Amino acid sequence: MTLSISRKLLATTAAVTVSAFLFSTAPASAMESVKAIFASKPAAPTAADAAAFITRVEAESDAISEEASRINWAYATNITYDTQWLVAKIGERTTKMAVDFAIEAKKFDGVQVDAVTRRKLDFIKQGITLPAPQDPKAVAELAAVTTRLSAAYSTGKIELDGKTVSQSETETLMRTTRDPKKLAEIWTKWHDNARGMKADYARMVELGNAGAKELGFADVGALWRSGYDMPPDDFAKEVDRIWTQVKPLYDELHCHVRAKLNDKYGNEIVPLDQPIRADLMGNMWAQEWGNVGDLVANKGDDPGIDLTKILNAKGYTPLKIIQTGEAFFTSLGFEPLPKTFWERSQIVKPRDREVVCHASAWDLDSRDDIRVKMCTEVAADDFQTAHHELGHNFYQRAYKNQPVLFKGGANDGFHEAIGDMVALSITPEYMKQLGLIDKVPDASKDLGLLMQKAMDGIAFLPFGLLVDKWRWQVFSGELTPATYNEGWWKLRNQYQGVRAPTARSADDFDPGAKFHIPDGTPYMRYFLARVLQYQFYKAACDQIGWKGPLHRCTFFGSKEVGAKFNAMLEMGSSKPWPDALEAFTGTRQMDGSAIIAYYEPLMVWLKEQNKDRKCGW
């Protein structure tokens, strides 16, 4: 590196010396000619220049991405001062490189290039989640701010009943606690813990927006929305269209759940004319409600299969849960995971150090070093999460032979949907094939199972939508630090119909209590994934000729589905996402109708239950 820099400096010095000599000794006429040469504009970039630029970007990106991945893995599995320092430094380098590449890519906006090159140039400009301004000090500051925010969340703790409780433990308590006073205490203390992030978050927004403007985008939100093969404003309209398709089902579910919680807690805690208290839903963010499924079931109704209880009774371990997820994919014809996956993954939470427990899938070398990072517990949630995260891993491996810039999902919702699609296939028939149950329940049990799934899958939809809607408003300036919290609760009220259990103020920063906000991870992918997973699932069931109720289908063991599925996965992001969607489903539009078809029996039942209730909030 030193030699390379020295040569560059020598070349620059030589050029200055030659030009100085020419201008000092040449005749006047010659001097004018030389001046004209040096004053002339650089040659306009060409298609060949663009191709050479792409080659350089892919080579340099491939080299640094593995280094960055390994540093980030070290941090995520061992949070210390030193690993935080390393993450900040590599983040500074990669951000600067990405911004420099994006700025350079703009030079080719008006150049006639082939479709593949144009797509790669667009990806270079759109591929930065939080672009820093070109100022080196700003690059360093943004890296430091984002690292502090991520660490503040992952190492956050609260004091409860004289004990120090970690972030992951607060989530467990929210799942299992039923005392509304205690729930409000846990919820409030964790959300109060996020208050200290607010100044850093506001600064991150400033820096990110400055970087986005240098790339030609109005703000970071517009940059994020530009990555869906359509204009940013069209994408915002598209997600609103999808929401209108599925909102009637959510509204019916909300109405029924509120009525049942009212039966449990009474009018003072759950008024029937107000949004539901967010802390009562069995989840810190009220984003999934499955953990309070027992509270909303009718007396005498079959609550469905208690998978957590069954897994423990059958002697499942965290390792066996991951192995079971792998077996689903291999049943479709995918090759088993590499030996290094089992050697290098974090499957359970280490006892001797701080780690990021939020589950994630990793591709460290863009080839074969794929891993999961989980703090797996023997529970139904983690059983589904294992299938989800392995979906990322099998997708990563499927597109490993694509060019560097096309190693990704067709859109970010695709990546999240793959494993979720498989999770839908965790039906009683699948459980029977695994030996978890001896007999598939008859159709009279379906409402319990559908309610169980809806309490997570349908309850999540508005939250999946509003997280980035809030950030779009923040990045655009519609919300300021003084109105961050007010805007957050306005959206949560509007879309979810939930409210805070305790008084919140403008000084609070309740969005920061959700991992993806301080971590700077776009969230719309999760909303799209919930839609796409049902589309993918219905397409798979159609391919095997399934004739029964959609929710009873499992495609476990279908090599036909696996072959067609893998063909879509292998495309990576080399084609616009409608092409990939069409390859597997036969349609080019994301659509919520498969969700409605899946939950049709439940929708009929909910409407009957709610016919004499006052719904809405």
Provide the strand spans (E) within 450-580: 498-499
Does an H or E element contain 157, and which?
Answer: strand 157-160
Among candidate residues 467, 530, 561, the one with its CA nearest the CA of residue 249: 530
| Cα(566)–Cα(551) distance, integer angstroms | 23
Amino acid at 368: D
Amino acid at 343: E
Close Cβ partners of 582 (under 8 Å, ≥ 6 residues apart) = 588
The distance of Cα 292 from the centroid of its chain, to the nearest Å, equals: 25
Amino acid at 496: Q
The secondary structure of 547-598 as a DSSP string is: -S-GGG---TT-HHHHHHHHHHHHTTTSS-HHHHHHHHHS-SS--SHHHHHH
Q: Checking DSSP bridges between strand 360-363 and strand 157-160, what pairing results, if any?
A: unpaired
| Cα(467)–Cα(444) distance, integer angstroms | 37
- Beta carbons of 488 and 317 less than 8 angstroms apart: no
450, burial (CB in 10 Å: exposed 0-12, middle 13-18, buried 19+): buried
Question: 516, 560, 582, 600: which is the annotated catalytic residue?
Answer: 516
Close Cβ partners of 28 (under 8 Å, ≥ 6 residues apart) = none
Q: Catalytic: 516?
A: yes
| Cα(262)–Cα(256) distance, integer angstroms | 10
Q: Catalytic: 104?
A: no
Question: 389, 392, 415, 551: which is the annotated catalytic residue?
Answer: 389
* 42 backbone dihedrals φ, ψ, rounded to 5°: -60, 150
> Would you state the structure tokens that stand for residue 460, as one six-digit string?
């999540």
- Beta carbons of 471 and 519 less than 8 angstroms apart: no
- Beta carbons of 460 and 529 less than 8 angstroms apart: no
- Residue with structure tokens 């990563």? 396
Among candidate residues 409, 424, 423, 510, the one with its CA nearest the CA of residue 466: 510
Give the active site residues: 389, 516
